């Protein structure tokens, strides 16, 4: 594993912390971010510091068990969630955890974001499974993820808690967080308008097949559903024909 430049990663974690706070994905001292610097070291956000105002020197370096190696502050109480991901997935090197309100609303309502509704969401995320609640800061938080989801997905809705995304790079893990919240917002609007037209199994499969071409790392896909309301058929049924040009 090629080590990342530590100064560069310190600056990037501060930048991502600022973005998740600015976009209101967290409140107060919520959320945590980490990068696997090397085989044995993880750079992580400290406990009890607002992620919108992080300075590079606030961050702490821990080992793969979450024990502090360097830094003034105490590591985040959720550091064990991060190290559990690094143990389970040797292909990922960044973890972002936040509580974006719309996606977290789905997590509170017990609704996974796993329907084939938008090409970008299917290609980039596959799906965002809902994982069983576990007390934050304890190993229980990761039980369901480790047992059922960690190998197949890169984004997780933590029931009654929030969202965690993982990737090869910090910027990509952050982009997945943005994508999850954006997908949740669109899903919510469609539900408020009265329905979500899902892609037909053939259309959904087409998007799943495209995932590898776009560099998706996890294999899990969206739910494939039989429905009356495929976009291609509802459009033909419900959108009126264009009025004829009166000049013609």
Q: Which stretch binds Zn ion (CB under 5 A): 4-12, 15-23, 143-151, 157-165?
A: 157-165
CA gap 21, 99 in Å, rounded = 10
Q: Is 162 in the site for Zn ion (CB under 5 A)?
A: yes
Given the complex with Zn ion, which of 66 and 162 has the nearer CB atom? Answer: 162
Rounded to whole angstroms, the Cα distance separating 146 from 156 reads 11
Q: Which stretch binds Zn ion (CB under 5 A): 156-164, 189-197, 211-219, 224-232?
A: 156-164
Report the distance separating Cα 104 and Cα 180, nearest Å: 10
Report the residue number, 135 or 236, with the smaller CB distance to Zn ion.
Answer: 135
Q: Which residues contact 58 (CB under 8 A, 6 or more apart)?
A: 45, 46, 49, 71, 72, 73
Tokens in use for 34? 């980490």
Q: Give the dihedral of Cα atoms 94, 139, 51, 163; nearest 10 deg.
A: 70
Taking the C-alpha atoms of residue 223 and residue 117, their distance in angstroms, rounded to an integer, is 10
- Measured N-to-C along each axis, helices 170-193 and 101-109 cross at an angle, to the nearest 10 degrees, of 60
Give the chain's length: 248
Shortest distance, position 43 Cβ to Zn ion, whole Å: 19
- Least Å from the CB of residue 32 to Zn ion: 7
Report the nearest approach of Zn ion to the CB of residue 190 (Å): 27
Residues in contact with Zn ion, shown as a per-residue x/- string from 207 to 246 under the rule CB under 5 A: ----------------------------------------
Q: Which residue is nearest to Zn ion (CB)?
A: 162
Residue with Cβ nearer Zn ion (126 or 162): 162
Q: Measured from the CB of residue 176, what is the shortest distance to Zn ion in angstroms?
A: 16
Q: Which C-beta is closer to Zn ion: that of 17 or that of 162? A: 162
Smallest gap from residue 141 Cβ to Zn ion (A): 9
Nearer to Zn ion, 75 or 162 (CB): 162
- Nearest CA to 30 among 85, 101, 86, 93? 101
Pick 115 or 161: Cβ nearer Zn ion: 161
Contact residues for Zn ion, defined by CB under 5 A = 162
């Amino acid at each position: 594993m090629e080590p990342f430049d530590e100064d560069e990663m310190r600056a990037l974690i501060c930048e991502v912390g600022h973005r998740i706070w600015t976009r209101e994905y967290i409140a107060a001292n919520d959320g945590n971010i980490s990068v696997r610097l090397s085989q044995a070291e993880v750079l992580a956000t400290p406990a009890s510091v607002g992620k919108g105002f992080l300075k590079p020197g606030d961050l702490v370096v821990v080992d793969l068990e979450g024990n502090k190696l360097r830094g003034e502050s105490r590591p985040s109480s959720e550091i064990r969630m991060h190290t559990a991901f690094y143990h389970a997935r040797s292909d990922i090197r960044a973890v972002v955890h936040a509580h974006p309100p719309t996606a977290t609303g789905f997590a509170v309502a017990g609704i996974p974001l796993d329907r084939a509704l938008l090409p970008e969401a299917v290609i980039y995320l596959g799906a965002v499974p809902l994982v069983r609640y576990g007390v934050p800061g304890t190993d229980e938080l990761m039980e369901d993820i480790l047992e059922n989801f960690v190998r197949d997905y890169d984004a997780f809705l933590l029931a009654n808690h929030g969202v965690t995304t993982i990737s090869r790079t910090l910027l990509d893990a952050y982009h997945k967080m943005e994508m999850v919240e954006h997908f949740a917002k669109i899903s919510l609007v469609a539900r408020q308008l009265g329905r979500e037209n899902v892609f037909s199994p053939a259309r959904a499969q087409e998007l799943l097949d495209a995932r590898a071409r776009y560099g998706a790392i996890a294999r899990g896909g969206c739910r494939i559903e039989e429905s009356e309301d495929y976009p291609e058929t509802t459009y033909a049924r419900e959108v009126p024909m264009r009025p004829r040009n009166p000049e013609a």
